[in-house]
Structure 1
């Protein structure tokens, strides 16, 4: 008997040792996987950078707009791997002026409202929007007073919305071409009140999310008989906040699940949204101790197990509205068995499933785990991709800033109809407005001010340029000098572009020695070797520095001159301003903000720096240095470090013509012409691309 007990004890000890070794191996594997994910860009630095820059773009696009812009998806969340071509960014425009209500007592008595209505047959997570006029819900008896291209009557005779309206100057609605979205109060009572044993999300977070309401988006349930009349309830804003709040390990877990879904599961009807929902439930239903570096793969398996349970019962409950089954219309018997088998396979093979992950070259890292030399080479390549991706994020936010400035600020230049004083007044008001504004949509004061501060260098430079142009023409020397001195402050707030335009003002008033002194204070090599950013000509391989570098003179957007700035514009630039005059073209408003450089002169900051240097040295009699600067422009074009090579060659043609070198001037103009033809082709191609996009 004692012999049997000893054997049983030995077996138990051996089993525990084996289990301990298994746990130890899995912990080591998880720690190793965390390190690999950090290397390929699945880390806090990268995701926080993505989140911050997309929020800034969101604020900038919403600024001075009648609609609120929201960005969702992996690019906004930072849940994609650097270098991954399959990045999704969902842009939503929401008309928050339209009052969407759940209680008829809250209807606007002086304007149209939309009342959320549901029936027993209405699928969970979907609603209909009944028109309310003067506090009265509209039915078929009111039909003769309405436009039937926006409304329809449902089977109960209620007049309901089936297309997105936007408020016009009158009390009724007009059509909108933008992605349908309206905003309303809270509806997810079950989510708000359910018990949370492990305290996620926290009570403070729940109260915050409750205050944001929800979106209603034009999308009916796939199995509904009134699919064209239904609107889907969306908690995208709340989901985004929860994604932003994930810990590093939770974030890594989600990205691994996405990689598994794309590289191993590969089923069209199972999306990353299913896994996001799964992750939310697993976080809510488990202790914080699960989310440790050494438990990463265990947390991945927890999510796979949860998904397997849902597949077996055929129910994937929406996180905010559990009665909304995300498998509905997607998981038939065949699909369910196929998905179930894949999940069971993943649980059986365990960590070895990483051999099948092509995303981020994870499978290569697994194969090279015991080879330091191969691992080092992989890390070097991943780091290069990672650094370029970080740089491109900065490019995107600066490009977005330029687009908004073109579309929302410079449009007032056209509206001024030549009255530059009115345009200057508008710029003053805009700067004051930016200082006074607290928040935009649900963003904090700090986020709002940080985003809008990207616009101010452009506004300061534009304001100073127009004030200087008026000042130079003023007959009173004292007034002129006062205005010029005052504009200096704003030029210096405009980064490198503002500084170079300030030197242009000094040149215009004949202060050539002072021009030279100002140029000498700049880092010439840095300016020459770093290309400018320009929204009209974005390159795929843009590599820039941080956003704040604009204000530190380390980088610049391209420099531009409006027709109102002729007094401070070089003769060589004046052709660029007026070269499209007399050319008739039909303007497409939907793409105008992307192609708004045809009424002004635009030049790369490095080209303009060298051109300034050439002209200043020429005025000071330093001809060799002047020619050297022109040769520098040629070298820039040969190195493909400029965005407006046609303008650069026009500058060279003008300089050659000034020196009576007609043959060389003609050669430069010929070169400019050939370059322009290629640019026009690319511009037309980009324009067609933009016209094809719904947003």
Structure 2
């Protein structure tokens, strides 16, 4: 095959087919982008609706660009920036009440980097007094400069690498790379020249450049490898502009970038070293696109485009120079390589180019080499065993929808954390703030609203109901309106809250009807439990659920997911007394063993949907004197706790099962449930109280 006259075109087409099969196609690229942009928007709306104005984050990198595969194992790049800071290029950009920094670029700073001089928040003049902490230093000119060691982010278990903090995802989770940044008021002067630069391909377009110039840039805390003052320098980041460029690549350009990263990982950085970075490969690709006609970037020319990029990367290595695409004075390779490294990398790239495609056969990532051999008829079909394109498509679509659902759960938890200590009036204000996104012209914001709003409607309605139940044991009409508005949050959690409200007022018939309908939904569709209260691996997914993800839209997916049911203390009168103990699970000693941000839910009553459904049935059938149905509900509750591996709050389910056993006058079985609960979670568990109470009862009986 490699001796055929048109083999490069044939190789390009087969290579494009392979990349299509492993998910590098327009549909999956758009799905990845949509997923992460929606996640970013959900968090923006969450902050807005809760009045949080300290931090904002953006998602960058391969995951949000759609330029990765499962085998590349790309992390998620988060850029967090403080809204209370302002980096200015001149005094006209100073902002009152903010922590202002003046960007300084002179003969002492490396191109593409700057110093930050601290200015006062009450007037546009520099601080003259030393702030008195390790994050600032006074230079010879008397200026107070901020060190790049300053960071407003500190996550448990994170490892700092330059400006970022790496957080390992653990089994079933994607690693995260979190960068703390300071936002700039305007487009950097050092990048002005790029706006007027024009390449052969007339790319980027003027529209892209106008958008880039309108976006903010950032500074991140890291100095150049060749800097005289490495701890004082801050790198100027044009991440938003770069994301715009990547989102405007065609599918061949995206595939070329994916191949560059596979070659990088397979041949240049096989041990995980980061001498040549994927950002350098991205930069080389952007220059190649800028300096060629757009017509060459097509599927039957993929291999030629890849070779061109490798030649450019090789040239950069030989010259020890890879200019930042937007800020050209910034040499990305400055101080990065030893002479030995350069020689070794040069040799590898040269051999890869000279082998004219054979090197692709040695790439094991996503079985690319083996798949290519099959496509080129170098081995018979069936010689290798790997996932089909259909299976890969199902996996990627399912992963995308689970991420959307999980992020919805995370945002809901953040909103509840804000509302936990607030009154009903404040809850209503949060609802009103969220409602402003309902008619927003921004499609992503409207989509995010539809995911988040039902949960907040239900919480507010349940809070109103709790207040009225506490006063006269009735549910107000307004509360029912809000509870009804939230019923489509998912297949079960909001319906179960409404059933719990009716149960709390003694309206057993209405509660039973809702539970019966909800249970029917469970048996009619493939349902997946979703909960972001604490980090557990991605849930086990059935084939039926995967097919739903491929066939249905993202909004329809909430009809196939069951979120955990969360009651904050403002809803306590809507919570069965057996579940109210969960709101008081923690002793003072227990609280020491909680994560400050992640474990806020431990002050609420939280339970998985299906165990709660069967528990409510058990209680309601007891009141209705339907003893056979009551025992069936108890059997279902016991069975689901035993067999369902996707339960996230198993300790709570065991606690309510134990109380059912107490009601059945089976203290030994109840004690067993509580002990099993403690095996799930030794601390911050209401089982400790239940055991004490049960043993006290047993001793009193003796």
TM tier, shorter chain? 0.7 to 0.9
Partner of 2:203 in structure 1?
A: 200
Partner of 2:55 in structure 1?
A: 67
* Counterparts of 1:352 and 1:604, CA distance in 2: 53
- Cα gap change, 1:376 to 1:457, in 2 (>3 Å): farther
**1:512-551 paired onto structure 2 within 5 Å:** 512-522=508-518, 523-526=520-523, 530-542=527-539, 543=541, 548=554
Is the contact made by 1:531 and 1:604 (CA closer than 8 Å) also made in structure 2?
A: no
Moved more, 356-365 or 521-530: 521-530
Partner of 1:169 in structure 2?
A: none
- 1:633 deviates by 2.4
* Counterparts of 2:328 and 2:640, CA distance in 1: 60
Partner of 1:8 in structure 2?
A: none
- Which residue of 357, 360, 365 maps to 1:359? 365
Q: Secondary structure at the match of 2:267?
A: helix
Is the contact made by 1:531 and 1:642 (CA closer than 8 Å) also made in structure 2?
A: no
* Counterparts of 2:266 and 2:591, CA distance in 1: 48
Partner of 1:435 in structure 2?
A: 435
Is the contact made by 2:405 and 2:558 (CA closer than 8 Å) also made in structure 1?
A: no
- 1:183 deviates by 2.0
Moved more, 285-294 or 668-677: 668-677
Is the contact made by 1:220 and 1:227 (CA closer than 8 Å) also made in structure 2?
A: yes
Moved more, 325-334 or 144-153: 144-153
- Cα gap change, 1:182 to 1:375, in 2 (>3 Å): farther
Q: Secondary structure at the match of 1:268?
A: coil
Partner of 2:347 in structure 1?
A: 341
- Cα gap change, 1:157 to 1:51, in 2 (>3 Å): same
- 1:260 deviates by 0.4
Partner of 1:633 in structure 2?
A: 637
Is the contact made by 1:100 and 1:114 (CA closer than 8 Å) also made in structure 2?
A: yes
- 1:504 deviates by 1.5
- Which residue of 447, 469, 477 maps to 1:482? 477
Structure-2-length-normalised TM-score: 0.82
**1:248-647 paired onto structure 2 within 5 Å:** 248-266=251-269, 268-369=274-375, 370=377, 373-374=381-382, 377-380=385-388, 383-384=390-391, 386-414=393-421, 416=422, 422=423, 424-436=424-436, 445-475=442-472, 480-495=475-490, 496-522=492-518, 523-526=520-523, 530-542=527-539, 543=541, 548=554, 552-580=558-586, 585-586=591-592, 591-639=595-643, 640-647=645-652
- Which residue of 222, 228, 231 maps to 1:219? 222
* Counterparts of 1:449 and 1:197, CA distance in 2: 39
- Cα gap change, 1:150 to 1:362, in 2 (>3 Å): same
Is the contact made by 2:19 and 2:25 (CA closer than 8 Å) also made in structure 1?
A: yes
Moved more, 544-553 or 459-468: 544-553
- 1:568 deviates by 2.1
- 1:587 deviates by 7.5
- 1:271 deviates by 1.0
Moved more, 551-560 or 347-356: 551-560
Partner of 2:176 in structure 1?
A: none
- 1:571 deviates by 2.8
**1:185 counterpart = 2:192:** no
Q: Secondary structure at the match of 2:5?
A: helix
Is the contact made by 1:463 and 1:490 (CA closer than 8 Å) also made in structure 2?
A: no
Is the contact made by 2:96 and 2:123 (CA closer than 8 Å) also made in structure 1?
A: yes
* Counterparts of 1:400 and 1:44, CA distance in 2: 24
- Residue deviations 1:177-231 (CA, integer Å, cap 9, x gap): 9824332322202211112332211111100000113111111111111122211
- 1:519 deviates by 2.9
- 1:390 deviates by 3.3
Is the contact made by 2:651 and 2:678 (CA closer than 8 Å) also made in structure 1?
A: yes
* Counterparts of 2:77 and 2:98, CA distance in 1: 31
- Residue deviations 1:528-575 (CA, integer Å, cap 9, x gap): 963421112343232477695578532121012233333222232122
- 1:31 deviates by 1.6
Q: Which runs of 5+ in 1 are unaligned?
A: 1-17, 167-175, 417-421, 681-695
- Cα gap change, 1:147 to 1:670, in 2 (>3 Å): closer
Partner of 1:154 in structure 2?
A: 139
Is the contact made by 1:31 and 1:294 (CA closer than 8 Å) also made in structure 2?
A: yes
Partner of 2:168 in structure 1?
A: none
Partner of 1:173 in structure 2?
A: none
Moved more, 546-555 or 622-631: 546-555
Structure-1-length-normalised TM-score: 0.83
- 1:234 deviates by 0.8
C-alpha RMSD of the superposition: 3.2
Q: Secondary structure at the match of 2:325?
A: coil
Is the contact made by 2:420 and 2:568 (CA closer than 8 Å) also made in structure 1?
A: no
Partner of 2:158 in structure 1?
A: none
* Counterparts of 2:347 and 2:204, CA distance in 1: 32
**1:241 counterpart = 2:244:** yes
Partner of 2:76 in structure 1?
A: 89
Is the contact made by 2:493 and 2:563 (CA closer than 8 Å) also made in structure 1?
A: yes
- Residue deviations 1:598-636 (CA, integer Å, cap 9, x gap): 212211111112222333333333333322222222322
- Cα gap change, 1:180 to 1:512, in 2 (>3 Å): same
Is the contact made by 2:130 and 2:136 (CA closer than 8 Å) also made in structure 1?
A: no
- Cα gap change, 1:576 to 1:366, in 2 (>3 Å): same
- Cα gap change, 1:668 to 1:282, in 2 (>3 Å): same
* Counterparts of 1:225 and 1:439, CA distance in 2: 53
- 1:154 deviates by 3.0
Is the contact made by 1:104 and 1:135 (CA closer than 8 Å) also made in structure 2?
A: no
- 1:109 deviates by 7.1
- Cα gap change, 1:581 to 1:310, in 2 (>3 Å): closer
Partner of 2:21 in structure 1?
A: 39
- Residue deviations 1:503-528 (CA, integer Å, cap 9, x gap): 11222223322333323333354489
Larger-gyration structure (1/2): 1
Is the contact made by 1:39 and 1:379 (CA closer than 8 Å) also made in structure 2?
A: no
- Cα gap change, 1:599 to 1:461, in 2 (>3 Å): same
Whichever structure has more helix as a proportion of its residues is: 1
Partner of 2:66 in structure 1?
A: 78
Moved more, 272-281 or 108-117: 108-117
Q: Secondary structure at the match of 1:378?
A: coil
- 1:244 deviates by 1.6
**1:228 counterpart = 2:248:** no
